[in-house]
Amino acid sequence: MTAVPSIRQRSYLRGPGRLLIAPAILLLVAASIAPLIVTIKFSLTDYRLLFPNSTGFVGLANFAHLLASPDFWPALINTLLLIAVVLVVSIAAGLALALLLDGPVLGRGALRLLVISPFFVMPPVSALLWKNLLMQPVSGLFAWLASLVGLPAFDWFSRAPLLSIALIVAWQWLPFAALILLTSLQSFSHELREAAQLDGAPPLAILRHLVLPHLARPIAIVVMIETIFLIGIFAEILVTTGGGAASTNLAFQVYAQAMLRYDVGAASAAGLIAVVFANILALFLVRAVGRSLEA
């Protein structure tokens, strides 16, 4: 039709409109903005539960102390590494799987059920199943697989705890990436593909020049969404390594400072750093989704 904009422009709806959205906004402010402000405040104070008398504004001392502590930088680097490895593995494997499932497979319905399963498994279960049933170097299944090819069992959690955790988390997120990409692939017009085939394009070229660019946007969305959740990886670390230096991350550090060292000030500082970190990444996601609002 013509340039008639939204039909929902009834002025008498505006009053109730504001009322209806208020409770939701209230809850969100109470659960995010308000405590965040308190976190900021705490990060600038010396607040240790074991030393209740030493309270007071200390400016950026907590941050300085944190940045100098031997736990912090590994935590920060691990956070990034975790995110990077999970993203790469989940998206690469997800893409491969999506391409396979998009093809002429029999029983796609059943395959989808199999593939989506890890996504719905609660993190403690995933972590414990992987750590014990699969990765345990004495009786775990991977040890058995290694023995089949004559290799010694690999002690995953002793030798490569961060990688182990990354694999577990990547396993959980792979279905998400695979399904999003599969949906996007299936919406990719058959006609376009057939036209390319008629033009004599070999399958690999079609993949490279038509399909992958089409997938660029969903891949970006997957990256952004996974990242939001990956900053806060917690349960898997708690349940497998208890956050040793080799496998701690920012989220775990906040927990450790608060619950193990009772240093509220330091924990708040770490929490704030995590927030800033997340916000930078979030900026890009908001723009991408905001654009989809116009679409």
Partner 1 sequence: MSGIVLEGVTKRFGDHLAADTIDLAIPDGGFTVFVGPSGCGKTTLLRLIAGLEDIDSGRLLIDGMDMARTSPAARGLAMVFQSYALYPHMSVRANLGFALKVARRPGAEIAERVEQVAAMLNLAPYLDRRPAALSGGQRQRVAIGRALVREPRAFLFDEPLSNLDAELRAQMRFEIRRLQQQLGITAVYVTHDQAEAMTMADQIVVFRDGRVEQTGAPLDIYRHPANRFVAGFIGSPRMNFLGGAIADDYGCAAIGVRPEHLMLDPAGALAATVQTVEHLGSESLIHLRAQSGEDLIARGTQDPDVRPDDIVRLRFAPNAVHRFDADDRAMPATDARQEVI
Partner 2 sequence: MRTRRTNRAIVTLLAWGASLAIAFPLLWALLTSFKTELEAVAFPPRFLSFDWTLANYRNVLADGDYFHALINSVVIAGGSSALVLALAVPAAWSMAFAPTRRTRGILLWMLSTKMLPPVGVFIPIFLFYRDWGLLDSRFGIALLLAAGNLPIAAWMLFSNFREVPGEILEAARMDGASLWQEVVTVLAPLALPGIASTFFLVFTLAWNESFWTLNLATTEATPLTAFIAAFSSPQGLFWARLSAASILSIIPVLLIGWLCQRQLVRGLTFGAVK
CA gap 36, 42 in Å, rounded: 10
Judged by beta carbon distances under 5 to 8 A according to partner kind, the member of partner 1, partner 2, none in contact with residue 189 is: none
Nearest to partner 2 of 162, 236 (CB atom) = 236
Judged by beta carbon distances under 5 to 8 A according to partner kind, the member of partner 1, partner 2, none in contact with residue 2 is: partner 1
Over the window 5 to 44, marking each residue x when it contacts partner 1 by CB under 8 A and - when it does not, the resulting string is: x-x-xxx---------------------------------
Asked if 250 interacts with partner 2 (CB under 8 A), we say yes
- How crowded is residue 120: how many other Cβ atoms within 10 Å of its Cβ? 8
Report angle CA 77, 82, 87 to the nearest 5 degrees. Answer: 130
Asked if 207 interacts with partner 2 (CB under 8 A), we say no
Using CB under 8 A as the binding criterion, the count of chain residues that bind partner 2 stands at: 111
Instruction: Name the token pair of 108.
Output: 């796609």
C-alpha closest to that of 71 among 270, 263, 259? 270
Segment interacting with partner 2 (CB under 8 A) among 84-92, 157-165, 205-213, 232-240: 232-240
Segment interacting with partner 2 (CB under 8 A) among 50-58, 81-89, 188-196, 213-221: 213-221
CA gap 280, 265 in Å, rounded: 23
Judged by beta carbon distances under 5 to 8 A according to partner kind, the member of partner 1, partner 2, none in contact with residue 4 is: partner 1
CA gap 51, 67 in Å, rounded: 22
Residue found by looking up tokens 């593939």 in the block: 115
Q: 97-156: which residues touch partner 2 (CB under 8 A)?
A: 97, 100-101, 103-107, 111-130, 132-134, 138-139, 141, 143-144, 147
Q: Is 188 helix (H, G, I), strand (E, B) or coil?
A: coil
Asked if 276 interacts with partner 1 (CB under 8 A), we say no
Q: 103-162: which residues touch partner 1 (CB under 8 A)?
A: none
Q: For residue 172, what are the contacts with CB-CB under 8 A and spacing of at least 6?
A: 118, 119, 121, 123, 126
Q: For residue 62, what are the contacts with CB-CB under 8 A and spacing of at least 6?
A: 43, 44, 45, 46, 265, 266, 268, 269
Segment interacting with partner 2 (CB under 8 A) among 54-62, 69-77, 81-89, 273-281: 273-281
Binding site for partner 1 (CB under 8 A): 1-5, 7, 9-11
